[in-house]
Structure 1
């Protein structure tokens, strides 16, 4: 999702722009006030004259001389009464034009004067200006007068550049820097309550319902948005609860008539037709169980207990062996270890293995072995001799209601349910190709998911999950082997 504009950056930028606008207004007002209202002396002169004179200054034979540059020629043409005196730091002097006698007393001390404005009070003397300039011969003092009065635009620009410009730049630098430093901190402090809302919102998911965003400390401008989000979360929770009730009720409603039909078919089973009907009813029963399992997983709050997976796996294969044999398979149980203990819920793990074995019974083609193996590396494999699963479909089979075969074979919920069960036990499940060319589902439990005592776990496993339909397994036709773990 693309990130929106930063509120802190937006406020900082806008405040800085408003400060620049305010400073610019102040600068223009200052120019207008001093240039016109206070009759600034520099308004009578072209203030660029001092720079033009300094730029043309050269030293020859120990004396100063001003070259006749194009700019100086233009100034002399527009200001025929121009006079000037330029003095360097060594006291060398160059004079041009007719210096008014009123300025003679100042000529000897020009080197010690930094800047000067002289106001004229007679018609033949309109004042003078003195500036310190950089030149090719070093710092010099330039005093001039008698120049033509510039246009008001040129005069204001010249005055602004010399008198107001430096101060304006300084104010912009200082206030702009303070704005960039202070405003983000002020905005961050003002929006600190939103970070608490963000932390709560990041914890909301499908398994953490009922959480609401805090709205007590948020700004009033945001409180309405937070309240609207909380109202939306309430509607979502209500809709989710209604959906869960529907699924649970539907599963329970399906379970009872399916169990009755299954018992009647078991008692009256006579031929191949009855066998196919029996398999269909088993699939319906499995679908009802899967729907109920979804509800159990969503609402399961029991603490994890040690579960002995070798005994549990052997029990699953023993219970499903009659169904596998009836479907044409040879069920085999194999183990490399005497005990494999994980922490979790025995009934959920049992249902996960049942779904994997039943998936093999349904999809493996009705012949060959169905092998359940407990490995020494804390993994359990269920493999068959069927057609297998195409490599390009293996990432999809764990999605809910995804089927490789037609609609009449399986519900598409079993593998999704298995994946969720294994995920909740900090494990992983993958599918590949078995040694016989069929499918091989491999469940791995992490090293962290293990109990300290295998014997204690074996005592806690107990019998099968209550409510699971069991076949008669007093003498299960199951081949079981025991192998040593590989070196």
Structure 2
């Protein structure tokens, strides 16, 4: 779509040009009508003057296309052209008695006179030809409007050009100013729209701050913002209620699992319920975080990472995988966030590495100034699989273990913190999943921690 300002300027220019041409046509049409006879005489005199030739003692009016057209359009045309004693006459049978005798001795110029009987008029044009005076008298001429218009344009081309230039300059300046006003009005609306928080679009643009022409558009935007905000609130309420309602059944289920007599089945059921409980807790934390029910506070990533690795140490020991915590520089590392949500996100990454990093012998949690990374030395992911893992119900486990919701929730948690989840992997070289925070700041020095599970 083209620019509104450009389209407006072009449209205004085309409209102004059309109006100017119409006004010029009306002026040409009306102006000769007010002095029809005088304008007609001027055209006819010019035609005869161009056709007149004086050679020695001969005065000849040549047959030119313009003269032939004049004769064809004027059945009662007559004219007398003289220069001193030299005379050329046409249509004498139509010529009435004239009040002027030949040779004419009057002043140079163009005039319109009445005949003796006062029933008609005739044109008298006196022009200086060197030492001679060329006198032309014409009666009953009929001149086409087009020729009168062309003669008018030729004689008035410079004033018309100046008028057109002034008109075009006025239109150009007006278009530029109008386009600027339109652009500034749209820019104000855009600024107000950008000021609305995408996570909470309940704000609206005040109609008193926008031009009248943009009020319907702004009103539609406000209505759309209100509908989007209502939908977001409904989804967040549903997510929070669902997670909250699931906690009680999961607690009862875990209590009943303790009564299962088969140890192997009981262990498997406990693991599944623990994973489901972690997922529900993450959903509830995310819902609370999005609804701003929990205030963000400074949290220590090093301490959280140590606690999460300690929780997963038994599972890592059973799988024969070494867990390690390394940090780049001095710590602890503080970020603004919600402790439970960040713990859930980090636990999800460590749990994914333990379950899905096939062939991994070592998992390292690396702390840096902008966040934390979970690195494994497993088989890695297939090419192009990183983006798919961030979608809901996508999992890197071909066996179908897991719901595929964990990384999607981690991504939402990081988005709520203003950060991001970054996944990088290469077949045969392991996988790195990083939690990047917008303002992770290192403070007090702490020794490097190394937690191993063998």
Q: TM class by shorter-chain length?
A: 0.7 to 0.9
- d(CA) in 1 for partners of 2:267, 2:307: 24
Matched, 1:259 2:256: no
Matched, 1:359 2:349: no
Structure 2 counterparts to residues 313-324 of structure 1, below 5 A: 313-324=305-316
2:323 to 303, 307, 332: 332
Superposed displacement of residue 419, structure 1: 3.0
Instruction: Name the residue aligned to 1:40.
Output: 37
Aligned residues: 422
Superposed displacement of residue 245, structure 1: 1.0
Please say if residues 45 and 148 of structure 1, whose CA atoms lie closer than 8 Å, have aligned partners that are also in contact.
no
Instruction: Name the residue aligned to 2:452.
Output: 479
Superposed displacement of residue 29, structure 1: 4.3
Instruction: Name the residue aligned to 1:204.
Output: 196
Matched, 1:279 2:276: no
Structure 2 counterparts to residues 458-469 of structure 1, below 5 A: none
Q: Equivalent residue of 2:422, what SS? A: strand
Matched, 1:19 2:19: yes
Instruction: Name the residue aligned to 1:392.
Output: 384
Instruction: Name the residue aligned to 2:223.
Output: 231
Q: Equivalent residue of 2:364, what SS? A: strand
User: Per the alignment, do residues 183 and 72 of structure 1 end up closer, same or farther by CA in structure 2, a change over 3 Å counting?
Assistant: closer
Please say if residues 332 and 442 of structure 2, whose CA atoms lie closer than 8 Å, have aligned partners that are also in contact.
no
Please say if residues 401 and 412 of structure 1, whose CA atoms lie closer than 8 Å, have aligned partners that are also in contact.
yes
Matched, 1:247 2:236: no
Q: CA RMSD in A?
A: 4.7
Q: Normalized against structure 2, the TM-score is what?
A: 0.72
Instruction: Name the residue aligned to 1:127.
Output: 123
Superposed displacement of residue 204, structure 1: 3.3
Q: Equivalent residue of 1:208, what SS? A: coil
User: Per the alignment, do residues 217 and 353 of structure 1 end up closer, same or farther by CA in structure 2, a change over 3 Å counting?
Assistant: closer
Larger deviation: 167-176 or 243-252? 167-176
Kindly provide the CA deviation profile for residues 215-245 of structure 1, in whole angstroms up to 9, marking residues without a partner as x.
2355666545544443343333223222211
Unaligned runs of 5+ in 2: 54-59, 90-99
1:311 to 300, 303, 308: 303
Superposed displacement of residue 298, structure 1: 1.2
- d(CA) in 1 for partners of 2:317, 2:45: 108
- d(CA) in 2 for partners of 1:369, 1:19: 83
Instruction: Name the residue aligned to 2:56.
Output: none
Superposed displacement of residue 283, structure 1: 2.8
Q: Equivalent residue of 2:285, what SS? A: helix
Unaligned runs of 5+ in 1: 58-65, 86-94, 108-115, 133-140, 459-476, 482-487
Q: Normalized against structure 1, the TM-score is what?
A: 0.68
User: Per the alignment, do residues 145 and 395 of structure 1 end up closer, same or farther by CA in structure 2, a change over 3 Å counting?
Assistant: farther
1:175 to 167, 175, 182: 167
Structure 2 counterparts to residues 106-145 of structure 1, below 5 A: 106=107, 116-122=109-115, 126-129=122-125
